[in-house]
Amino acid sequence: MIARPRNQLERLANKCDQLIGLEARGIQQVPESAREGKPALRDYVWMWSIWFSANCTAVQFTAGILGPVAYGLGFVDSVLLCAFGTILGSICSAYVSTFGALSGNRTVVVARFVMGYWPAKLAALFNIVINVGYGLIDCVVSGQILSAVSGGSLSPVVGIVVTALITWVVSTFGIKLFHLYQGYAWVPQVAILFVLIGCASPKFDIVTPSQGTGTTVIGDRLSYFFLTTSVPLGWASQSADFYVYFPKSSNRYVVFLMTFLGLLLGKCFVEFLGIGLATGLAHNTSWAAAFDISLGSLLVEAFSPLGAFGHFCCVVLALGICANIIPATYSTGLSFQLLDPNAERIPRLFWCTFAVIVYTVCAIAGHKHLLAIFNNFLVIIGYWLANFVVLVLQEHVIFRRKIGWKWDQWDNTEYLPLGIAAFTAFCIGWVGVVLGMDQTYFVGPIAKLVGEHGADLGIPLGAALTAVTFPLFRYVELKYLKR
């Protein structure tokens, strides 16, 4: 509940909190007095379930499919690259998640302690763009599946709207319903995915090697590795948001482990199946014809030997995608509040509603171009978040060990860093991103050096330049500006 409502909207949010438990709190810190005690084993299991539910969904098929389809990689190459890429991205997001229970602050608020009061608004803006993009992709996948189940009689638009409505209810209600929903959403998904393994895996091609030779295939492998890194890395800008009500005494290492395992296991389970489906396209004409229509049609075709039960499985997968959109939508409402003091006065539930409307409209407009949107959008997420994680890690390890964290000063512009060092290093990191990026709209000069197709090296180059420059700039900032 917001302690002192400043306007009618906040009074309404507080009233809803009192009557039905709808979360009124926004980016305000959750004080230690409100989260005393020690977490039980079930609390840590709940942490795992949040992330496993959010990532064990049908939208992750898309990342798996891109390995063989977009980069011409074989089954073994795709699985290994996907596994190690997911491990790297999950480590980053799991590390950031540990600040939630420690500080009682949301991720975008923690960014203020690293990037400064004003530059942190840039992180909030990027987080909004990420989550609206993910909401668009998730709604499109769900809409395509439901449309394919109906044989085309149901427009993907209807499926998009249904998915958006479910997401709106849970994300707007807040953390209580969010934790309850995410705690169990994974159960039907896992059951259906095991059915898919039995039904479709005999048609997977695990023998055909990757296409291309020499530096060309190396470039494709690097691009796919960093693309799969970007998928779990996309949660780094919000992973602490869902732990702010847990006690400060929560074991930071266990928090990290539960988040890491939830991300890794959920994503790999589905993405490996996506890789398998993609390898089967070349030898199964019915699969290929269905995939030409949409991802949803491919899933329906894969389940087709099961008849009506296969259609039921597809509906469960489609609705299960809500578990992936709900955390992102919840976090988006918080990021809007960080953009401006006036925006903070508008309760999170209204911003969540606005976000749902935006990505629903975008999904309806772009539902015919899923793979292109996904391929170009995902790595862009990784570009800025790799730089962000480097800034948080270096601030934590190098500088805050001496000066400490005063988490209750989350809104004090006199205490928070000016952010000159972080913003400068962040921008220099983007120079590396531009030099190494390999997208349809631009290929950097360094990316062009690898093979015929190039290699997307934006993430490592951007992170490296940020890591090299930030400590020097931050040392100067602390010496002369004292904060």
Which sign does the torsion angle of CA 137, 143, 144, 145 carry?
Answer: positive
Q: pLDDT value at position 73?
A: 95
The pLDDT assigned to 379 comes to 59
Distances (CA, A) of 290 to 228, 301, 350: 25, 7, 39
d(CA 177, CA 463): 36
417 Rama class: left (phi>0) / alpha (psi -120 to 50) / beta: beta
CATH code (residue 291):
1.10.4160.10
In a domain, 267, yes or no: yes
What is the end-to-end Cα distance of the chain in Å, rounded?
31
What is residue 427's predicted lDDT score, i.e. its pLDDT? Answer: 95
Q: Does a structural domain hold residue 256?
A: yes
Q: Answer yes or no: is 148 within a domain.
A: yes
**Amino acid making up residue 210:** S
Taking a C-beta distance cutoff of 8 angstroms, is the pair 271, 63 a contact?
yes
| Phi, then psi, of 56 in degrees rounded to 5 | -90, 60
Structural domain count of the chain: 1
Per-residue pLDDT, 271: 97
**Locus of tokens 């934790």:** 179
Residue range 304-343, pLDDT digits in tens? 999 999 999 999 999 999 999 999 999 999 999 999 888 8
> Is residue 405 in some structural domain?
no
Q: What is the pLDDT of residue 478?
A: 92
Classify 250 as helix, strand or coil. Answer: coil
Question: In 3-state terms, what secondary structure has residue 417?
Answer: coil
> What does the pLDDT read at residue 2?
56
- Burial class, 41, CB count within 10 angstroms (exposed 0-12 / middle 13-18 / buried 19+): exposed
For the stretch 202-232, pLDDT in tens is: 999 999 999 988 899 999 999 999 999 999 9
pTM for the model stands at 0.93
In this predicted structure, what is the pLDDT of residue 16? 74
Q: Tokens 């305000």 — which residue?
A: 28
DSSP string, 299-317: HHHHTGGGTHHHHHHHHHH
Residue 139 lies in a domain: yes
pLDDT of residue 56: 95
The owner of tokens 């290492």 is 253
In a domain, 399, yes or no: no
Q: Is residue 63 part of a domain?
A: yes
Is 85 within the bounds of a domain?
Answer: yes
Look up the domain containing 347 and give its range.
38-368
Q: What is the pLDDT along the chain (483 residues), one digit of tens a residue?
A: 555 667 677 677 677 767 777 888 889 999 988 887 888 899 999 999 999 999 999 989 989 999 999 999 999 999 999 999 999 999 999 999 999 999 999 999 999 999 999 999 999 999 998 888 888 888 888 888 998 898 878 888 888 899 999 999 998 888 888 888 999 999 999 999 999 999 999 999 999 999 988 899 999 999 999 999 999 999 999 999 999 999 999 999 999 999 999 999 999 999 999 999 999 998 999 999 999 988 889 999 999 999 999 999 999 999 999 999 999 999 999 999 999 888 888 888 899 999 999 989 888 887 666 656 655 665 577 788 999 999 999 999 999 988 889 999 999 999 999 999 999 999 999 999 999 998 877 889 999 999 888 899 999 999 999 999 999 999 999 998 888
Q: How many CA atoms lie within 13 A of 424 on its CB side?
A: 13
**SS3 (DSSP) at 213:** coil
What is the sign, positive or negative, of the torsion defined by CA atoms of 359, 184, 26, 424? negative
